[in-house]
């Protein structure tokens, strides 16, 4: 369904005030180039959950943003269902028919919701923007159906984000992501900002939705315990590169990379 071939992303770091002053005095000060993602290649098959793991700053979120077409790759090919979506500029992808087929659940359920939108308006946003449903009564009915699917009580639909708990806001974000019946959903650490007790509930919900709606997930996380539970395959990234890839069971139980071994060794274990 999804394939990345040699995908890279480079950012130019602007000169700070001291560097600009030094350059003005004739010093040889060059702009820095940061290789956030370096020649990454992998695929996600239909109905599969692929975990993208690594420490903060390893490039996993940048990779997911390029898949989501919120960032343009510097080089490489991104294809979805055989179509080269990487060549469509990010600012134009919102108008592409592919937009509704790839959706995202963002990391922070509070920051990713418009504080001026009620829960129902937030869920309705992609429906109003992309689908052919324009009658508000039909949109409202669809939002109520989605709320029921994600376990959000209907009486909360007219509340604003500040009136909802973290778990309830997470459900709004998930309902919004599945509103257009996407085939691929990118989960960018969807439980990182939630209490531990709520995390398990949300993960179970995501697992149920995957089976009931037949979706594929690209699951971005640094929590290897969660990845073990939810993912079929795991891709380990470090410094913008893939250092290991394999089945979740294989990577977790028999890691080949020293870096993967370090990540696994860092998992906290409860005292006996």
Dump the DSSP string for 159-173: S-GGGS-HHHHHHHH
Q: What is the pLDDT of residue 272?
A: 57
Instruction: Kindly tell me the number of DSSP H helices and DSSP E strands found in the chain.
Output: 10, 10
Beta pairing class for 233-238 and 241-247: antiparallel
Name the pLDDT band for 271 (thresholds 50, 70, 90): low
**Does 143 map to a domain?**
no
* CA distance linking residue 29 with residue 78, whole number of Å: 35
- CA distances to 51, 150, 159, 247, 266 from 252, in Å: 12, 30, 42, 8, 13
Give the pLDDT confidence of 182-206 residue by residue, as tens digits.
Answer: 999 999 988 877 888 888 888 899 9
pLDDT of residue 169: 93
0.85 exceeded by pTM: yes
Query: 177 with 185: CB under 8 angstroms?
Result: yes
Q: What is the pLDDT of residue 149?
A: 94
Integer Cα distance of 54 and 255 in angstroms: 14
Which contacts of 92-99 are long-range, i.e. CB under 8 A and separated by 24 or more positions?
Answer: 93/69, 94/129, 96/69, 98/69, 99/69, 99/130
Q: Where are the alpha helices (DSSP H) in the chain?
A: 17-24, 60-67, 90-93, 119-130, 136-150, 166-178, 196-213, 224-230, 248-253, 258-265
pLDDT value at residue 56: 86
Residue 80 sits in a domain of what CATH number?
3.40.50.300
Selected residue with higher pLDDT from 28 and 73: 73
The band of 263, judged by pLDDT with boundaries at 50, 70 and 90, is confident
163 lies in some domain: no
Q: Domain range holding 38?
A: 2-109+182-265
Q: Is 19 within a domain?
A: yes
**Distance in angstroms (rounded) separating the CA atoms of residues 202 and 216:** 17
Q: What is the pLDDT of residues 56-78, one digit of tens each?
A: 889 999 999 999 999 999 999 99
Does 168 map to a domain?
no
Confidence bin at 28 (pLDDT 50/70/90): low
Q: What is the pLDDT of residue 19?
A: 66
Mean per-residue pLDDT, 47-55: 93
Provide the 10 A C-beta neighbour count for residue 225.
Answer: 12
Q: What is the mean pLDDT of residues 237-265?
A: 91
Indicate the number of domains in the chain. Answer: 1
Residue 52 has pLDDT above 90, yes or no: yes
Let me know if residue 52 belongs to a domain: yes
What gap in Å lies between CA 79 and CA 1, rounded to an integer?
8
**Weakest-pLDDT range from 11-15, 51-55, 162-166:** 11-15
Strand 102-105 to 83-84 pairing: unpaired
Q: Confirm whether 161 is domain-assigned.
A: no
Query: What pLDDT is stored for residue 227 in this prediction?
Result: 87
Q: Please say if the pLDDT value at position 15 is more than 70.
A: no
Residue 116: Cβ within 10 Å count: 9
Asked if residue 115 belongs to a domain, the reply is no
25-34, 133-142, 201-210, 253-262: which range is least confident on average?
25-34
Let me know if residue 167 belongs to a domain. no
Percent of the chain with pLDDT over 90: 64
Query: Mean of the pLDDT values across residues 209-221?
Result: 93
**Cα–Cα distance for residue pair 207/212, rounded to 1 Å:** 9
């Amino acid at each position: 369904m999804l394939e990345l071939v040699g995908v890279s992303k480079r950012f130019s770091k602007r000169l700070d005030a001291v560097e600009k002053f030094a350059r003005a005095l004739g010093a040889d000060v060059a702009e820095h180039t940061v290789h956030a993602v370096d020649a990454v290649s992998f695929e996600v098959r239909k109905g599969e959950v692929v975990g993208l793991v690594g420490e903060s700053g390893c490039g996993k979120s940048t990779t997911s943003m390029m898949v989501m077409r919120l960032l343009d790759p510097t080089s490489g090919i991104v294809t979805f269902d055989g179509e080269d979506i990487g060549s469509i500029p990010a600012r134009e992808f919102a108008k592409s028919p592919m937009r509704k087929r790839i959706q995202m659940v963002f990391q922070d359920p509070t920051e990713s919701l418009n504080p001026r939108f009620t829960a129902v308006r937030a869920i309705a946003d992609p429906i109003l923007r992309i689908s052919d449903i324009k009658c508000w009564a039909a949109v409202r009915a669809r939002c109520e159906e989605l709320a029921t699917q994600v376990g959000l009580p209907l009486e909360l639909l007219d509340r604003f984000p500040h009136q909802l708990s973290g778990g309830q806001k997470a459900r709004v974000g998930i309902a919004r992501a599945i509103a257009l019946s996407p085939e691929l959903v990118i989960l960018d650490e969807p439980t990182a900002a939630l209490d531990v007790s709520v995390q398990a509930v949300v993960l179970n919900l995501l697992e149920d939705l995957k089976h009931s709606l037949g979706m594929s997930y690209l699951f971005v996380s640094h929590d290897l315990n969660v990845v073990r539970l939810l993912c079929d395959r795991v891709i380990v990234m470090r410094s913008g590169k893939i250092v290991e890839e394999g089945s979740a069971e294989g990577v977790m139980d028999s890691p080949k990379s020293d870096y993967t071994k370090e990540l696994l060794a860092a998992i906290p274990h409860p005292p006996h």
